[in-house]
């Protein structure tokens, strides 16, 4: 039973480059979430989608961040241009429905040099 | 901002002992959830307790919820080395009921 799949697992890139993180939610799950985890700020919700529609993007730090969900089985989080302060672990999670537990991927560890 | 605040921030115990951690929150909630995170991995859901429930059990886990005090506790009984992880509470508070706000977590070390 495949869980949430994220790619890449690790990304190291230079400041100013575009970064694209990918997520495949669990099949049949209607909600998808993007989080960022750092030592300083803990786990922060960036954006979430219901049925492929963005519902709340109030956690997106600034215009450099964008997220899309073109279909029920794929989502991307893009940072352009990237900055060193974007270094963090980014998690994608999905849930079956309203109010149900969330299933997390193993994250993408992003380092911006 | 963080809704749930865990206490203590870190906990070190011997295998076989019980581990208790607490979570406090600020606003009304639909439910409260506990998650575990092993080093380098994603969070794993442990247990969900609804606002109208007071206690819930799952295996060696026991969760309580006191909505009057806006607090919850997670008890792990007869701990094992494999229980070493960070534990997070998360509150589901919005009208949409789909957005979770996570606390800062409790790091638990179980020594063999």
pLDDT at B2: 46
pLDDT over threshold 60, residue B45:
yes
CB A4 within 8 Å of CB A27: no
How many Cβ atoms sit within 10 Å of the Cβ of residue A71?
8
Q: Scan residues 2-61 of B and list those with Cβ closer than 8 Å to A.
A: 2, 30-31, 33, 40-45, 48
Closest C-alpha to A31, from A98, A85, A84, A86: A98
List Cβ neighbours of B45 (8 Å cut-off, separation of 6 or more): A101, A102, A103, B33, B34, B35
How many Cβ atoms sit within 10 Å of the Cβ of residue A9?
11
| Residue A79 parent element (H or E) | strand A74-79
- From residue A41, alpha-carbon distances to A49, A85, B2 in Å are 22, 12, 9
Token representation of residue B47: 């247990």
**Burial per residue of B37-65, b for 16 or more beta-carbon CB atoms within 10 angstroms, e otherwise:** beeeebbbbbbbbeeeeeeeeeeebbbbb
- Span A48-63, pLDDT tens digits: 999 999 998 999 988 9
Half-sphere exposure of B64 (CA within 13 A, CB side): 10
Instruction: Please state, rounded to an integer, the average pLDDT across all residues of chain B.
Output: 92
pLDDT over threshold 80, residue B97:
no
Confidence band, pLDDT 50/70/90 cuts, at residue B91:
very high
Confidence band, pLDDT 50/70/90 cuts, at residue A100:
confident
Nearest-Cα distance to chain B for A63, in Å, is: 20
pLDDT over threshold 90, residue B93:
no
Counting Cβ atoms within 10 Å, is residue B105 exposed (0-12), middle (13-18) or buried (19+)? buried
Residue A55 sits at the chain B interface (C-beta within 8 Å): yes
CA dist A94 and A91 (Å) reads 10
CA dist B101 and A52 (Å) reads 21
pLDDT at A2: 84
- Span A7-36, pLDDT tens digits: 999 999 999 999 999 999 999 999 999 999
Proportion of chain B above pLDDT 70, given as a percent = 92
Confidence band, pLDDT 50/70/90 cuts, at residue B3:
low
Closest-CA residue of chain B to A90:
B42
- Distance from the Cα of residue A34 to its chain's centroid: 3
Residue A107 sits at the chain B interface (C-beta within 8 Å): yes
pLDDT at A30: 92
- Span A60-90, pLDDT tens digits: 988 999 999 999 999 999 999 999 999 999 9
């Amino acid at each position: 039973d495949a869980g949430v799949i994220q790619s890449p697992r690790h990304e190291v890139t230079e400041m100013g480059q575009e970064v694209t993180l990918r997520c495949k939610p669990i099949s049949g799950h209607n909600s998808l979430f993007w989080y960022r985890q750092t030592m300083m700020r803990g786990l922060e919700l960036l954006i979430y989608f219901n049925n492929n529609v963005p519902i709340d993007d109030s956690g997106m730090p600034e215009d450099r961040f964008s997220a899309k969900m073109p279909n029920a089985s794929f989502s991307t989080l893009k940072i352009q241009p990237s900055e060193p302060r974007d270094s963090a672990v980014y998690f994608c999670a999905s849930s079956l429905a309203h109010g149900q537990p969330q299933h997390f991927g193993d994250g993408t560890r992003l380092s911006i040099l | 901002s963080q809704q749930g605040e865990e206490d203590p921030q870190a906990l070190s115990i011997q295998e076989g002992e019980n581990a208790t951690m607490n979570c406090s929150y600020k606003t009304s909630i639909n439910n409260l959830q506990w998650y575990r995170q092993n080093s380098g991995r994603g969070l794993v859901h442990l247990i969900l307790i609804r606002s109208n429930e007071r206690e819930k059990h799952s295996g060696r886990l026991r969760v309580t919820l006191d909505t009057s005090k806006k607090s919850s506790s997670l008890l792990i009984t007869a701990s094992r080395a494999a229980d070493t992880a960070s534990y997070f509470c998360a509150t589901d508070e919005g009208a949409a009921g789909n957005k979770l706000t996570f606390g800062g977590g409790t790091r638990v070390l179980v020594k063999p």
